[in-house]
Amino acid sequence: MINAPSRLSTHDLSCIRDDRLLFEGFNVDLKTGGLLQIEGHNGSGKTSLLRILCGLALPETGEIRWNGENIEQVRSEYHAELNYVGHFHGVKGDLSPLENLRVAQAFSAQPLDVDLDEVLSKIGLRGFEDVPARTLSAGQRRRVGLARLLLNKTSVWILDEPFTSLDKAGIELVEQLLHTHAEQGGIAVLTSHHPIRSEQLQRVRLDEL
């Protein structure tokens, strides 16, 4: 369970890349248990928005607030509550899935006391714990990347196309992870063209702002 109520809000965010306005007037207010799906055509700024929400890039205008404070003022606190899985899975090919998770757990600000073998089993990689990750399929490597969500106690998940390369079972797994995270009081923001079934879900199309 997430310890305390959380709130992530954006206020009049805009983004310009290469002298082109990608979006403006982006306003959302996500409270405990909130899920937000960002949609839009290619080039509409979905990944740029996620990077801004993570604090990896600055918006042209506007601000992001974590529990009422600008994230620039509470950067350490905010990042300790943040779990980001980008469009690229970030899995080291020369390491095994188990070794990848050990490294991720070591760098976590709030690591959970979990059995890494059980985590890999939960995400469908039983029997692949010790093979080089480069020998795995794209979908299996994506599962390893997503397994990092289960290693630490974070309130905010920011996910860039989490369903990429996954089969039907993998898609159902991600949907269940999102549902459980929301049920436990977490917040998640993701980009995806995949329809997600959830009563807590909000949707925003960047190309309609």
DSSP string, 172-185: HHHHHHHHHHHHTT
DSSP lists the bridge partners of residue 112 as none
Query: 1-81+155-209: CATH homologous superfamily?
Result: P-loop containing nucleotide triphosphate hydrolases (3.40.50.300)
User: Please, are residues 105 and 46 in contact by the beta-carbon 8 Å criterion?
Assistant: no
User: Please, are residues 162 and 21 in contact by the beta-carbon 8 Å criterion?
Assistant: no
Tokens 């009049």 appear where?
Answer: 12
pTM above 0.85, yes or no: yes
Read off φ and ψ for residue 195, nearest 5 degrees: -70, 130
The 10 Å CB-count burial string (b at 16+, else e) for 179-200 is bebbeebbbbbbbbeeebeeeb
pLDDT digit string (tens) for the chain, length 209 residues: 565 678 999 999 999 999 999 999 999 999 999 999 999 999 999 999 999 999 999 999 999 999 999 999 999 999 999 999 998 878 999 999 999 999 999 988 889 999 999 999 999 999 999 999 999 999 999 999 999 999 999 999 999 999 999 999 999 999 999 999 999 999 999 999 888 877 779 999 998 88
User: Please, are residues 112 and 124 in contact by the beta-carbon 8 Å criterion?
Assistant: no
CA-to-CA distance for 151 and 113, rounded, in angstroms? Answer: 8
Residue spans per domain, the chain: 1-81+155-209, 94-152
